[in-house]
Amino acid sequence: MRNEDDLRAVLQSLERHAPVLEAVLPAAARRPERPHRASRWRTWLRIGGPILVAVAVVAAVVAPLAVDKIIKGDMSKLNGPQGSVPDHPTAAQVLNAAARVAAAQPAQTPGKYWRVSIASTKLIPGGSNAHPYALRQTLSPWVTWYPLTPTKNQWYIAYSDAGYTSTLATPGGAAQWRAAGSPALPSAKLRVVGMEAFSDLRYGPTRLTPAQFQSLPSDPAKLKAQLDEMVKGSYQAGVKNQHSYEVFGVLADLLDHEPITPQVRAAAFRVLAGLAGIQMLGKVTDPVGRPGYMIGLDGGAYKSYGASGVLGAALTLVISPAAGTLLAEESVATPQSNNGVSKPAASGAVPGATACGKPADPGTPSIVVGEPGSRPYTYAGFTYCAPPGATVKVLPSGDGISDFVAWAKPHQSGVTTQNPLGPVVSVPPGTVTGAYTILSAGWTNATPAPGA
């Protein structure tokens, strides 16, 4: 039997699948990684149950908005001369406008901490297979403090003085919820403070300190060269724009709240603007009402190094050319998100697998949890299907509600997680299924404290 240290080593090996990065990073950035339980885009997946990474059909959600729906917002009052765009801009025009604004912003002198405030929501399945429905789970904003030069056991401190609540995600879900007996909807209070002994700030597969992020190149050509080297040899079956797919995911991570300078942010926008397949998805508002433009990738984009939150849900970016920044990341459902279900349910969820290695019944032959011969493993009210011969380990997160359930198989590199048995979310393609909203990010010399 493998112990926890062995499994953590497997997690570390799984993440470090691009060793060529060492050749393109400055020497200061080459430091050993610690394995992770969840990185930033995954943080909102840590709420309301064990983390489901590799094949999760549960998504972060704000509202069931169609991708092509234009939410009217008056950008003209916000756009200065450098950030202005045409009435019907292309993705490249929006990204280049944002780059011009970012490049003109003064670089902030690093303080003791990089302070970030984040808000997020997600869709989860509720009820039972007899009465399935989707829930929208909303996490109150939390604040994370990243020391400029972290010590061995203090990579960041996260504060939250609130928790999460759940509401029915679709009007059609009310009937199924009542039929299930109108159970109390999930909610929880989060712990006030949490200190983590690993980094969740990443540049591709490598985790950097806030100080190390300051040395990334602000020249678009040099940044692109690093990214090209980083993703060299990467391949994902079925991807339309292979190079763009990999680079898009890395830059999404870099832009969402890493402690980079405005000039590096500008370079990242310019690299994105030049990617093959980059596309405009419409003028929108982010989950807190700020106007911007949704940018995606033809054929779909995902996090290159870490779970995107939903299998088959494409990652998109909400960009403000006026502010020169990324406002939010949102995942968007594709036909693959529905596991072969031809018509999404009005309740937002459909019956899922009831036994390991067997399809759901009826009409959803592709909803299978675990391979044949898998054994059920129940933890925190969820039942997973561990394959034969696998070693199962629960890695506690410390908050009691987001432990990591994973397993490793002999002679196989990496660990595996998946969605549990029971209902699965089913929403129409084009639905915005995920949101991770950056409320603020910047340097501070203040002392970390709840509410500060």
Give 253's contacts (C-beta < 8 A, 6+ positions apart): 39, 40, 41, 202, 203, 204, 303, 304, 305, 306
On the 0-12 / 13-18 / 19+ scale of CB atoms within 10 A, 378 is exposed
Q: pLDDT value at position 343?
A: 78
- Across residues 92-110, what is the average pLDDT? 95
Q: How many residues in the chain?
A: 452
Choose between 206 and 443: higher pLDDT. Answer: 443
Q: pLDDT grade, residue 231 (50/70/90)?
A: confident
Closest CA to 329 of 406, 256, 234: 256
pLDDT digits (tens, 9 = 90+) for 308-347: 444 456 889 999 999 999 999 998 887 766 666 677 889 9
Judged by average pLDDT, the poorest of 146-160, 286-300, 435-449 is: 146-160
Mark out the alpha helices in 306-432 (DSSP H runs).
none
Joined tokens for residue 68 = 């092509």
| Per-residue pLDDT, 83 | 65
pTM of the full structure: 0.75
Residue 12 has pLDDT above 60, yes or no: no
Tokens of 192: 């006030």
**Which tens digit of pLDDT belongs to each residue from 401-428?**
567 778 888 876 666 777 788 888 888 8
Give the pLDDT of residue 26.
34
Give residue 348's identity as a one-letter amino acid code.
Answer: G
Residues 6+ apart with CB under 8 A from 279: 91, 295, 296, 297, 298
Confidence at residue 54, expressed as pLDDT on a 0 to 100 scale: 25
Q: How far is it, in rounded angstroms, from Cα 26 to Cα 349? A: 48
Distance of CA 102 to CAs 160, 263, 382, Å? 30, 6, 45
pLDDT in the model for residue 235: 67
Query: CA 120, CA 61: separation in Å to the nearest integer?
Result: 8
- Residue 101, pLDDT > 60, answer yes
Measured distance CA(377)–CA(374) in Å, rounded: 9
